[in-house]
Amino acid sequence: MTGVGTQDSGDQPLLAASAISKRYGSLLANDAIDLAIRPGEIHALLGENGAGKSTLVKILYGLIAPDSGQIIWQGAPLVLSGPAEARHHGIAMVFQHFSLFDTLSVVENVALALPPEPVAALSERVYRVSREYGLDLEPGREVWRLSVGERQRIEIVRCLMQNPKLLILDEPTSVLSPTETSGLFRTLEAIRGEGRSVLYISHKLEEVRVLCRSATVLRHGRKVASCDPSRESAASLARMMVGEDIHDVQVKPHRGDGAERLGVRQLNLASPDPHGTSLVDVSFSVRAGEIVGIAGVAGNGQDELFSALSGEVSSLPETVCIDGQAVGAKGIVARRELGAAFIPEERLGHGAAPGFTLSENVLVSQHGKQGFVRRGVLDRAALRDCLAAIRQRFDVRAGEIDPPARALSGGNLQKFIVGRDIMGAPRLVIVAQPTWGVDAGAAAFLRQSLVDLAEQSGAVLVISQDLDELFELSDRIAVLSRGRLSPALPRGQQTRESIGLMMGEAMREVAHAPHA
Across the chain, what does the average pLDDT equal? 87
Give the model confidence (pLDDT) of 237-287 as tens digits.
988 988 876 666 666 666 567 899 999 999 999 887 666 789 999 999 999
Residue 314 sits in the same domain as residue 179:
no
Tell me which of 197, 223, 242 is where a domain ends.
242
Q: Which residues fall within 8 angstroms of residue 508, CB to CB, at 6 or more apart?
A: none
| 156 within a domain of the structure (yes/no) | no
Residue 418 sits in the same domain as residue 309:
no
Give the model confidence (pLDDT) of 441-471 as tens digits.
888 889 999 999 999 999 999 999 888 889 9
| 147 within a domain of the structure (yes/no) | no
CATH number of the structural domain spanning residue 309: 3.40.50.300
Residue 176 sits in the same domain as residue 86:
yes
| 4 within a domain of the structure (yes/no) | no
Using H for helix, E for strand and C for coil, what is the string for 322-381? ECCEECCCCCHHHHHHCCEEEECCCCECCCECCCCEHHHHHHHHHHHHHCCEECCEECHH
Q: Give, as one character, the DSSP assignment of residue 102.
A: T
| 158 within a domain of the structure (yes/no) | no
For position 96, what pLDDT does the model report? 72
| 435 within a domain of the structure (yes/no) | yes
CB 83 within 8 A of CB 62: yes
Average pLDDT over residues 491-509: 73
Tell me which of 202, 218, 242 is where a domain ends.
242
The answer on pLDDT for 509 being more than 50 is: no
Average pLDDT over residues 152-176: 85
Average pLDDT over residues 33-61: 93
Residue 30 sits in the same domain as residue 173:
yes
Average pLDDT over residues 223-240: 93
The answer on pLDDT for 183 being more than 90 is: no
Residue 307 sits in the same domain as residue 438:
yes
| 122 within a domain of the structure (yes/no) | no
Give the model confidence (pLDDT) of 341-370 as tens digits.
999 988 888 999 999 999 999 988 876 555
Residue 446 sits in the same domain as residue 481:
yes
Instruction: Say which residue, 234 or 249, is predicted with more confidence.
Output: 234
Residue 30 sits in the same domain as residue 81:
yes
Tell me which of 242, 267, 294 is where a domain ends.
242
Angstrom distances, CA of residue 263 to CA of 254, 277, 279, 296, 428 = 18, 21, 16, 20, 11
Identify the domain containing residue 301 by its residue range. 249-339+427-516
For position 248, what pLDDT does the model report? 64
Domain tally, the chain: 3
Residue 233 sits in the same domain as residue 274:
no
pTM: 0.71
Residue 318 sits in the same domain as residue 414:
no
Average pLDDT over residues 131-139: 84
CB atoms within 10 A of CB 507: 21
Average pLDDT over residues 295-317: 91
| 61 within a domain of the structure (yes/no) | yes
Average pLDDT over residues 201-208: 90
